[in-house]
Amino acid sequence: MTSTLPRTHKRAARRKAARDYEQAALRKNRPVINGLRRAFKLALIIAIALHIYALLLRFMPVPYTINMLRDDNVTRDWVAIEDVSSDVIYAIIGAEDARFCSHNGVDWDATLDALDSNQSGGRRRGASGLSQQTAKNVFFWNGGGYVRKAFEAYAAYFIDFTWGKRRVMEVYLNVAEWGDGIYGIEEVAQNRFGKSAKDLNPREAALLAAVLPSPNKWRVDPPGPYVTERAATLLARAQTVRNEGTAKCVFK
């Protein structure tokens, strides 16, 4: 009868060699694994910190934004939404996000329409609504492509849900840039028109909304032909927003 002992020894030796190989591979890859673990922990800490920061901003003014840090001679003046003319709110919604009160942070209809237009070779259009613009201004920066856009969309949903529409509008009005290092509706009202944001009339509100897409290029003092024409269009849109009640979520 042939002994099975040598065969058993061979199987044991193969198993031991396999274990030794696995352990050697683990030792070799440990720096990579440890690095990935540290990166994951850091990303988790940053994500938690940003969520806590976002929740705090539900109740406190935004201290600073990345765009402000990049700008020289920043001037700003935080103001409560109760001290902003309703004409400003109507003009901003008419200019930037007509469906602000009906979406949950991202207007996918406008986004898909803009993508179709851009891919078909038409005039390039932006599709970021007010919640997305607020998220970008508060947490991110200009540029960054689709990666930043993805995080921006998530942040827009988060603040829309946790802050509510009225607070989103309030923050937007206080962190938006109006050119020359001027941030916030109160500061630009004082600088451009010599009055408080609460006293702005419909035409002044439309002029300020008209320059928002490119505040360092277009001006309201004095407005050029394009800004004048766009302001007239936005004046009509603001009236439509008022008449149709599409800004009701801000005034609740």
User: What's the CATH number where 222 sits?
Assistant: 1.10.3810.10
Are 212 and 151 contained in the same domain? Answer: yes
pLDDT at 124 over 70: no
Question: Looking at residue 127, what is its pLDDT?
Answer: 67
Q: What is the mean pLDDT of residues 85-99?
A: 97
Q: Are residues 18 and 79 in the same domain?
A: no
- 49 with 79, same domain? no
Q: Which residue has the higher pLDDT, 44 or 118?
A: 44
115 has a pLDDT exceeding 80: no
Which 8-state DSSP code applies to residue 84?
S
- Count of the separate structural domains present in the chain: 2
Q: Who wins on pLDDT, 148 or 190?
A: 190
Residue 49 and residue 67 in one domain:
no
Q: Rounded mean pLDDT of 129-150? A: 90
What whole-number percentage of the chain has pLDDT above 70?
84
Give the sign of the dihedral formed by CA 128, CA 131, CA 134, CA 140: negative
Average confidence score pLDDT of the chain = 88
In terms of domains, do 79 and 50 share one?
Answer: no
For residues 127 and 110, is the Cβ–Cβ distance under 8 A? yes
- Candidate from 24-33, 87-96, 218-227, 237-246 with smallest mean pLDDT: 24-33
Q: What are 245's two structure tokens?
A: 């009640």
Please identify, among 17, 32, 56, the residue that sits at the C-terminal boundary of a domain: 56
Return the closest-CA partner of residue 136 out of 125, 122, 147: 147
Distances (CA, A) of 19 to 13, 16, 24: 10, 5, 8
Instruction: Look at residues 11, 34, 56 and tell me which one is the last residue of a structural domain.
Output: 56
Res 76 pLDDT > 50: yes
6 and 119 together in one domain: no
CA–CA separation, 248 and 75 (whole Å): 31
Higher pLDDT, 216 or 206: 206
More confident residue, 36 or 127: 36
Looking at residue 116, what is its pLDDT?
65
pLDDT category, 121, cuts 50, 70, 90?
low
**Is 198 in the same domain as 105?**
yes
Q: What is the predicted pLDDT for the residue at 4?
A: 55
Question: In this structure, are 106 and 169 located in the same domain?
Answer: yes
Is the domain of 16 the same as that of 130?
Answer: no
For the cut 50, the answer to whether the pLDDT of residue 38 exceeds it is yes
Is the separation of the CB atoms in 155 and 166 below 8 Å?
no
Q: Check pLDDT > 70 for residue 100.
A: yes
Indicate whether 80 and 156 sit together in one domain: yes
Structural domain boundaries, residue 21: 1-56
**84, 25: one domain:** no
